[in-house]
Amino acid sequence: MRTIVRFCLIALITSGCAHFRIAPEGMPPSTSPQIRRVHALAWGAIETRTTPDNCNGNGMSAVTVKVTTMDAVATVATLGFWTPVTIEWTCAKASGVAVARSGEKR
């Protein structure tokens, strides 16, 4: 019986993850992937703000949100109070079109 419990625990801890990817077709990346570990607390009332500083205003070519098994276990164990995830993104190539950022004058 102990062997079965150990096997189940190891399988749970080392099993795969879910990931969600947003990437338009035909949008090649211009940077290597950047990865940030972020957390939401109090059922999303307090969230980590992640700013893609490396994109230089060009936007993103792809964004992936990954949730591991242990992330899901932590979320369930805290009844959703703490939700850890990993965000990965790549920046888009410059389009050659100047776009004003919010608050800037052109």
* Whole-number pLDDT of residue 13: 66
Task: Work out the angle between the directed axes of helices 2-14 and 69-77 (0-180°, nearest 10).
Answer: 110
3-state secondary structure of 89: strand
* Bridge partner list, 19: 66
With a CB cutoff of 8 Å and minimum separation 6, the contacts of 43 are 80, 81
pLDDT average per 10 residues of sequence, the chain (106 residues): 78 71 78 88 89 80 88 90 92 66 54
CA of 10: how far to CAs of 7, 19, 29, in Å?
Answer: 5, 21, 37
With a CB cutoff of 8 Å and minimum separation 6, the contacts of 34 are 52, 54, 88, 89, 90
pTM score > 0.85 for this model? no
Gyration radius of the chain's alpha carbons = 19
Q: What φ, ψ does residue 34 adopt, rounded to 5°?
A: -105, 140
* pLDDT digits 0-9 by tens, 50-80: 888 888 777 888 889 999 888 888 998 999 9
